[in-house]
Chains A and B, each alone.
Chain A
Amino acid sequence: MSNGAIVGQSLPLVDGVEKVTGRGVYGVDVRAAGMLFARILRSPYAHARILHIDASEAERIPGVHAVITCNDLPDRRVGLALKDEYVLARDKVRYVGEAVAAVAAVDLDTADEALKAIRVEYEELTPVFDAREALREDAPRIHEELAHYQQSSYLTRFIRPIPDSNVASHIKLRKGDIAAGFRLADVVLEDTFYCPRIHHCYMEPHAVLAQYTPEKITVWSNGQRPFDIRTYMADLFGHPMSKVRVINTMIGGGFGGKITAKLEPIAVALSRKSHRPVKLVLTRQEEFQGFGGQHSALVKIKSGATSAGKLTAREMEVTWDAGAYADLGVSVALLAGVVGASGPYRIPNLKIDSYLVYTNKVNSTALRGMGMQQVAWAVESQTDLLAEKLGIDPVEFRMRNALEEGDRSATGEILESVSVRECLKKVADAMQWGKRPKAANQGRAICVWHKFSAPGTTSSAAVKINADGSVTLLTGSSEIGQGSKTVLSQIAAEELGVSLEDVSVVSGDTDATPFDHGSFSSRVTHHTGNAVRFAALDAKSQLLNLAAEMMQPMEITAEALELKDHRIFVRALPDTGLPLAEVALAAQLRGLPILGKGSFRGQGSHRLDPETGQSSQPAASEWIYIAQGAEIEVDPETGVIRVLKLVGAYDCGKAINPLAVRGQILGGVMMGVGISLYEEMTYEDGQIVNPTFMDYLIPTAAEAPPIEVMLVENPHPLGPYGAKGVGEASIVLIPCAIGNAFYNATGVRIRELPLSPNRVLEGLGAKGQVRSR
């Protein structure tokens, strides 16, 4: 597919100047006259009944304007998908750090003083911290009323809780005949793998400024889904949506961690009570205590293959540790836990059970990769073990089983734009697989995977052609640093024949911009990109029709006209035309200023058959394919793994902005390096032990290995210019590629992340012993 003048070009971000000059206004930077400063009182207990809260002393402190508890909010459960939580804990706390009360005061010191003066009486209950223990019959019930919880209306009822248990959702997939499948296999392997919790570590903390009046609620937020927040606030505070305005500030990173709106309702409630704007910003420690990162997961996997190297059966049991609330774990347990769990392979017989289990820790949520890195860690590790057992080269084994165009997925979806083999071959060639000798203590591996973008979500957009021919683009999506404003501007500029500089973007404002589900699940380029393109085409059609009229008495129809380089001209007579600005002005003068609108709904549905997991619809709006190679060296005396090189092929459909796509991929790869080697949220009795950047280790510039990025452009039939979303895919395969490369180097299989030096050294020491959790 050829590049346009703008689409397909590596262009600097349109909001780059604001970022490099420090002029951009982030959530932490917004202020309002008379604003108060808020702090949250958090539970010191992992599981306890709340007997009594006395805020009277706190309220009397000079400078304290409001103290709120659950009684200042409706007695209604909330939740993105399953409504199982309260804004401020009511009756019970379920994790250390849960919000119990909040204060708004003239400054933070006063707010902190007020927190100390709030008296809460708790009755401790027995907590359960481990997901396997939580599954036991005699485990304490974290949600006694689970059977009565409602599900959110927009996500069409796919959550399957087990009443009187700690299972928030159990999703199943049954395909073919699993017993027969294993009988056909010449080799059957069974393994268990584990991934711990890891945190998003966006650099900018959560920050909200809220202003409540009976006429209007206004919220400035660095959240990724402003329309979600609007729905939530409207519902909670009883305002119609038209009287709730959510405005995105500049956002310092999200990665899925700024979807759940925990702060917004607290800030609004404080504003309501104090009659002042209220600013609430989290400390880094609160980020680790109040937001739970990605789900830890225990994956049991049993796979069978014939001696010819064909997979015949795969059985998986995935246990996701939800923490205290289901949150987006329901999507993780469905999409990664079942839909994509078995990998980008042809497997005729499948049995998958995915459990989302409550424990008394802060709830986990969406995190880049959405659970895929946890299942890939297990599946791709075992894939190399299978290949080895069969005596087949691991790349060749993957090639023999790879999904192809037109194949059916695990849920029965007919797959389009499949590029598993292409990606795999590209990486194998780049690494000269099988052709280079290997030095001592060095190892190599290549893995493949697929990444879904959530099904059935909607984007809409509007394009205004101003009287001078410049363009204003209105989009409800959030710019979280992924470059959405730039990519969307490129699409608009391409269709409207203007330069990138002529387009300015208003994004993430629920009053000013059309509805968009938001920035998550790698969806913006594909979904909002389409909406923007259709909006631009709509505006273009209006322009061409008017131009044709203006060019009378020449008998020209709009179809004969072209819009390019700020001009509308007759295709066959390029010198005959009008400047775009002239037509735009004329539109305004004639009472029909140009306004284009467009929308797009991604295909698919979350709804699978409850017994078989099959669906007549796609289970994802798009699938992205990835192959990742890793070369590592291990120091056998210290256990330190040094990543020599990471080489990957990423199918983005169409790179609207290759520079931005490369940037997204590099970021995901580095997060992958972090979770492979350094990162783990560590708990003791439900209390996080490493809630700072001193003890929770993310890679620095000194740890970044050489990374090669190869883009594969295998167009998606529905994407704008064929584009798919690549924001998440690159994190997914890093742990298993490094883990397999380590196995290749040492013959030692480690089944738990991170591959810390201590764990590696223990593994090397106990060589030959199979470790499993």
Chain B
Amino acid sequence: MIKKELQLRVNGGLFKLEVFPSTVLLDVLRDELGLTGTKRGCETGYCGCCTVLLGGKAIHSCSILAFRAKYHEILTIEGLEKDGKLHPLQKAFMDRGASQCGYCSPGMILSGKALLDSNPNPSEAEVRRALSGNLCRCTGYLPIIEAVLSVAQEGGRP
């Protein structure tokens, strides 16, 4: 087994890498690109801590081969801030206590962003469903749901 050349578009940048084809996107992001904001919490695709956006859609980066991800733009949590300004979701998470230990936060925020980008005025049920692929053990979810809804109501997305 040999490494092969791979080009990935991440957070607006283009990266050339040499990677084993069996490597999943999560490991490439963390180990090759040093983007450790995306986390691992399990091995069976349920915790959602590894969530990134692929072509604007929320996916579990542990469950996709890095080579498959070359066809679309990847957004990780590091790509959300613009010129030092936090995304409204990041700010809402902080203001509403939606982040306690913070381990699930990158994944939660990105899942929230994917929802609001395609559905700017979701119902509470839609928010809950969109976030059900992201586990949290600290917050009891309600502050997170409130944070996402608050951003929807304020119509805030850059």
Closest Cβ of chain A to B125, distance in Å, is 8
* Cβ contacts under 8 Å, B40 to chain A: 28, 205
Whether B135 lies near A203 (C-beta < 8 A) is: yes
With A21-B90, A203-B49, A700-B132 in contact, is A660–B140 under 8 Å at CB? Answer: no
Instruction: Give the residue of B42, B90, B136 whose beta carbon is less than 8 angstroms from that of A20.
Output: B90
* Cβ contacts under 8 Å, A480 to chain B: 101
Measured CB to CB, the nearest residue on chain A to B35 is A22
* Cβ contacts under 8 Å, A24 to chain B: 102
Whether A659 lies near B132 (C-beta < 8 A) is: no
Q: Convert B32-53 into 0s and 1s, putting 1 for each residue whose CB lies closer than 8 angstroms to a CB of A.
A: 0001111111111111010000
Whether B135 lies near A700 (C-beta < 8 A) is: yes
* Cβ contacts under 8 Å, A283 to chain B: 43
Measured CB to CB, the nearest residue on chain B to A698 is B135
Whether B109 lies near A20 (C-beta < 8 A) is: yes
Cα of A667 to Cα of B133 in the assembled complex, Å: 18
* Cβ contacts under 8 Å, B133 to chain A: 700
| Residue among A21, A480, A662 with the highest chain B CB neighbour number at 10 A | A21
Interface positions, chain A 113-156, Cβ under 8 Å from B, are: none
Cα of A625 to Cα of B139 in the assembled complex, Å: 21
Q: Convert B125-151 into 0s and 1s, putting 1 for each residue whose CB lies closer than 8 angstroms to a CB of A.
A: 001110111111111111111000000
Q: Is A25 an interface residue (CB 8 A)?
A: yes
Q: Is A201 an interface residue (CB 8 A)?
A: yes
| Residue among A13, A22, A29 with the highest chain B CB neighbour number at 10 A | A22
Whether A663 lies near B137 (C-beta < 8 A) is: no
Whether B99 lies near A16 (C-beta < 8 A) is: yes
Measured CB to CB, the nearest residue on chain B to A253 is B101
Closest Cβ of chain A to B121, distance in Å, is 18
Q: Is A693 an interface residue (CB 8 A)?
A: yes
Whether B36 lies near A25 (C-beta < 8 A) is: yes
Whether B42 lies near A692 (C-beta < 8 A) is: yes
Whether B42 lies near A693 (C-beta < 8 A) is: yes
With A20-B86, A204-B103, A693-B47 in contact, is A701–B39 under 8 Å at CB? Answer: no
Q: Is A106 an interface residue (CB 8 A)?
A: no
Cα of A458 to Cα of B103 in the assembled complex, Å: 29
Instruction: Give the residue of B43, B81, B140 whose beta carbon is less than 8 angstroms from that of A21.
Output: B81
* Cβ contacts under 8 Å, A18 to chain B: 102
Q: Is B105 an interface residue (CB 8 A)?
A: yes
Whether B36 lies near A707 (C-beta < 8 A) is: no
Q: Is A670 an interface residue (CB 8 A)?
A: yes
Whether B101 lies near A666 (C-beta < 8 A) is: no
Q: Is A439 an interface residue (CB 8 A)?
A: no
Whether A482 lies near B100 (C-beta < 8 A) is: yes
* Cβ contacts under 8 Å, B140 to chain A: 663, 666-670, 704, 707
* Cβ contacts under 8 Å, A12 to chain B: 94-95, 97
Interface positions, chain B 29-75, Cβ under 8 Å from A, are: 35-47, 49
Whether A481 lies near B41 (C-beta < 8 A) is: no
Instruction: Give the residue of B37, B81, B132, B138 whose beta carbon is less than 8 angstroms from that of A481.
Output: B138
Interface positions, chain A 1-52, Cβ under 8 Å from B, are: 10, 12-13, 15-26, 28-29
Measured CB to CB, the nearest residue on chain B to A22 is B37
* Cβ contacts under 8 Å, A663 to chain B: 97, 100, 138-140, 143
* Cβ contacts under 8 Å, A10 to chain B: 97
Q: Is A251 an interface residue (CB 8 A)?
A: yes
Interface positions, chain B 76-126, Cβ under 8 Å from A, are: 76-78, 80-81, 86, 90-91, 93-97, 99-106, 109
With A482-B100, A692-B43, A701-B134 in contact, is A20–B105 under 8 Å at CB? Answer: yes
* Cβ contacts under 8 Å, A200 to chain B: 137
With A16-B94, A200-B137, A702-B128 in contact, is A284–B101 under 8 Å at CB? Answer: no
* Cβ contacts under 8 Å, B139 to chain A: 663, 666-667, 670
* Cβ contacts under 8 Å, A660 to chain B: 97
Q: Is A217 an interface residue (CB 8 A)?
A: no
Measured CB to CB, the nearest residue on chain B to A286 is B43
Cα of A20 to Cα of B103 in the assembled complex, Å: 9
* Cβ contacts under 8 Å, B144 to chain A: 701
With A203-B41, A204-B101, A666-B143 in contact, is A22–B78 under 8 Å at CB? Answer: yes
With A203-B135, A663-B138, A670-B141 in contact, is A22–B103 under 8 Å at CB? Answer: no
Whether A252 lies near B46 (C-beta < 8 A) is: no
Interface positions, chain A 655-698, Cβ under 8 Å from B, are: 659-660, 662-664, 666-671, 692-694, 698
Interface positions, chain A 200-225, Cβ under 8 Å from B, are: 200-205
Whether A23 lies near B37 (C-beta < 8 A) is: yes
Closest Cβ of chain A to B48, distance in Å, is 9
Cα of A664 to Cα of B139 in the assembled complex, Å: 7
With A25-B36, A700-B131 in contact, is A19–B41 under 8 Å at CB? Answer: no
Q: Is A598 an interface residue (CB 8 A)?
A: no
Measured CB to CB, the nearest residue on chain A to B100 is A481
With A203-B137, A667-B139 in contact, is A20–B102 under 8 Å at CB? Answer: yes
* Cβ contacts under 8 Å, B95 to chain A: 12
Cα of A669 to Cα of B137 in the assembled complex, Å: 10
Measured CB to CB, the nearest residue on chain A to B136 is A203
Measured CB to CB, the nearest residue on chain B to A663 is B97
* Cβ contacts under 8 Å, B37 to chain A: 21-23
Cα of A660 to Cα of B96 in the assembled complex, Å: 9
Cα of A482 to Cα of B144 in the assembled complex, Å: 16
Measured CB to CB, the nearest residue on chain A to B20 is A109
* Cβ contacts under 8 Å, B38 to chain A: 22
* Cβ contacts under 8 Å, B127 to chain A: 701
Whether B131 lies near A701 (C-beta < 8 A) is: yes
Q: Is A255 an interface residue (CB 8 A)?
A: yes
With A20-B90, A23-B37, A693-B46 in contact, is A253–B76 under 8 Å at CB? Answer: no
* Cβ contacts under 8 Å, A21 to chain B: 37, 77-78, 80-81, 86, 90
* Cβ contacts under 8 Å, A20 to chain B: 77, 86, 90-91, 93-94, 99, 102, 105-106, 109
Whether B100 lies near A667 (C-beta < 8 A) is: yes
* Cβ contacts under 8 Å, A202 to chain B: 101, 103, 137
Closest Cβ of chain A to B39, distance in Å, is 7
Closest Cβ of chain B to A430, distance in Å, is 17
Cα of A101 to Cα of B137 in the assembled complex, Å: 31
Whether A659 lies near B135 (C-beta < 8 A) is: no
Closest Cβ of chain A to B115, distance in Å, is 11
Cα of A19 to Cα of B135 in the assembled complex, Å: 16
Cα of A536 to Cα of B41 in the assembled complex, Å: 39
| Residue among A203, A251, A253, A480 with the highest chain B CB neighbour number at 10 A | A203
Cα of A410 to Cα of B38 in the assembled complex, Å: 49
Instruction: Give the residue of A16, A201, A662 whose beta carbon is less than 8 angstroms from that of B93.
Output: A16
Cα of A205 to Cα of B43 in the assembled complex, Å: 11
Interface positions, chain A 444-493, Cβ under 8 Å from B, are: 480-483
Closest Cβ of chain A to B66, distance in Å, is 16
Q: Is A250 an interface residue (CB 8 A)?
A: yes
Q: Is A285 an interface residue (CB 8 A)?
A: yes
Whether A481 lies near B145 (C-beta < 8 A) is: no
Whether A704 lies near B102 (C-beta < 8 A) is: no
Shortest Cβ-Cβ A-B pairs, 9 listed: A22-B37, A481-B101, A19-B102, A252-B103, A666-B140, A670-B140, A22-B77, A693-B46, A16-B94
Residues of A participating in the B interface, judged by any CB pair closer than 8 Å: 10, 12-13, 15-26, 28-29, 200-205, 250-253, 255, 283-285, 480-483, 659-660, 662-664, 666-671, 692-694, 698-702, 704, 707
Q: A283-B43, A702-B131 are in contact. List 13 more A-B contacts (CB 8 A).
A: A18-B102, A19-B99, A20-B99, A252-B41, A252-B102, A481-B101, A481-B103, A666-B139, A667-B100, A670-B139, A670-B141, A702-B132, A704-B141
* Interchain residue pairs with CB less than 8 A apart (19): A16-B93, A16-B102, A19-B99, A20-B86, A20-B99, A21-B80, A21-B86, A22-B35, A22-B78, A26-B39, A203-B103, A252-B101, A481-B101, A481-B138, A659-B96, A663-B100, A694-B46, A701-B134, A702-B129
